[in-house]
Structure 1
């Protein structure tokens, strides 16, 4: 065996071990013939996607993409191994809607809104040689929100909100993606140089200079959308994360602050880079007006 062949074999073996450590990998059957299959796991109804180009897991609660892995790559998304019996699942791409963070007027209402706590309806799913497409819908009061997802060699999500009330309404929303990394302390985020925003940890304005690195916690809302490149030297991987025309890019990691049901080592394996319209860039929708938010990602 040549040196290159030996290196490729070692890399393949290492990746296989890392994938086996993913908390949702055991749900897949080695010779599954169904592209789509419903199961129950940790009290949630999950849809497994097994396609020649990718694997994925969705939760009916939240219409939430929990796991996505293109063939031949490591999983792109991180997900906690333990979930609360009641409440939001930490990981994947939670849909924060129709508000981001705390509700501006109601202290007892859930953090990040109702969408990630509600059961969504799967309206359509299909597959072809390039990948799969799914269409989810949630209707609450005078709101209708839909999530269109395309998965193959990369992932694409589009969140659309239609406002059917007779009066203008406020909306803030986010696709709160948890990206899987080798070690959060080693990764760097490129594409935010010069972006201005607000640092929620120190409650002061901020302006990014050069590459963003996570020293001990980060929670910043930048007033810029577009592409962020996540450089992960530990895995020799670069993820391209495109928030499209969103008003904001949110970067979050708790640092040394503990997360419920997430161990210290497990918590080092993600960083959140989110597409959002929130904070001072929240929207006011007129009757019948529609708002859209997109998030795309690929290895490159």
Structure 2
């Protein structure tokens, strides 16, 4: 298993501030070193790239090599204001502009239990805010306010790459009996029992409540909640190559994402807000 590429910021047992800006692979990154957790954000995309509660293995996967320009693969990219390909403009980037643009850090606070951060992106007639709470658990909340005087269409996602021991030894529970859509086979599906992603998976589920990512190789579990008003997307490329990512790296992640508008665009009236959330905590690994 590869060492997390951002672990280098935490190797030395020296006193360092809780929040510290560094430069890594041509990006500005905010290194967070709190008694209860370690984390790294990229200013580009307000992207949480690394999160590790004290005494645990990292929760998020991140590619070792980043492109000189463009999106960083890994962590929790913010896909906004569209998810996947743009519905009409083929030349526009997949998953929107938000993960390609520098965000402004409005606030960062610390207390005995963890850290809180507030990032903002203002683009045209949109205002997008990301609130993060990190400690022994991880919570991300994305809010979009539409400030134009005409209705608009949008879709969005918090696309989390969860770090695992081996994709062949993970199973996602909590979806038994849930109806979804298999985008690889282009057909409706109903999940029966645990979902295993080895060999490739791209499914969208209409699901409320917690799921549990059981990682038998690492003998751990993560309880993941994508919120009440979102779809849950489970994705792994299987044997399809990913540009700039080695095969051994691909074996070390699975995506469980919180999305809205992924199957049909979400409509926002002038002044209306859209919300998306992703919460994770440590669970008990099932046998």
TM range (shorter): over 0.9
**Superposed counterparts of 1:97-108, under 5 Å:** 97-108=80-91
1:30 Cα deviation from its structure 2 partner:
2.3
CA distance in 2, matches of 1:39, 1:60: 10
TM, length-normalised to structure 2? 0.96
Report how many aligned residue pairs link the two structures: 282
Choose from 176, 194, 198 the match for 2:181: 198
CA distance in 1, matches of 2:208, 2:274: 15
Greater C-alpha radius of gyration: 1
1:49 Cα deviation from its structure 2 partner:
0.0
Is the contact made by 1:181 and 1:271 (CA closer than 8 Å) also made in structure 2?
yes
Is the contact made by 1:144 and 1:163 (CA closer than 8 Å) also made in structure 2?
yes
CA distance in 2, matches of 1:91, 1:280: 23
Indicate the residue corresponding to 1:21 in structure 2: 3
CA distance in 2, matches of 1:199, 1:61: 32
**Superposed counterparts of 1:178-193, under 5 Å:** 178-193=161-176
**Superposed counterparts of 1:134-145, under 5 Å:** 134-145=117-128
Indicate the residue corresponding to 1:83 in structure 2: 66
- Aligned residue for 1:212, secondary structure, equals coil
Is the contact made by 1:32 and 1:50 (CA closer than 8 Å) also made in structure 2?
no
1:75 Cα deviation from its structure 2 partner:
0.5
Is the contact made by 2:230 and 2:276 (CA closer than 8 Å) also made in structure 1?
no
Greater CA deviation, 68-77 or 242-251?
Answer: 242-251
Is the contact made by 1:164 and 1:288 (CA closer than 8 Å) also made in structure 2?
yes
Q: Which runs of 5+ in 1 are unaligned?
A: 1-17
1:281 Cα deviation from its structure 2 partner:
4.4
Choose from 139, 143, 149 the match for 1:166: 149
Indicate the residue corresponding to 1:275 in structure 2: 258
Choose from 130, 148, 158 the match for 1:147: 130
TM, length-normalised to structure 1? 0.92
CA distance in 2, matches of 1:176, 1:62: 12
Indicate the residue corresponding to 1:63 in structure 2: 46
CA distance in 1, matches of 2:72, 2:275: 23
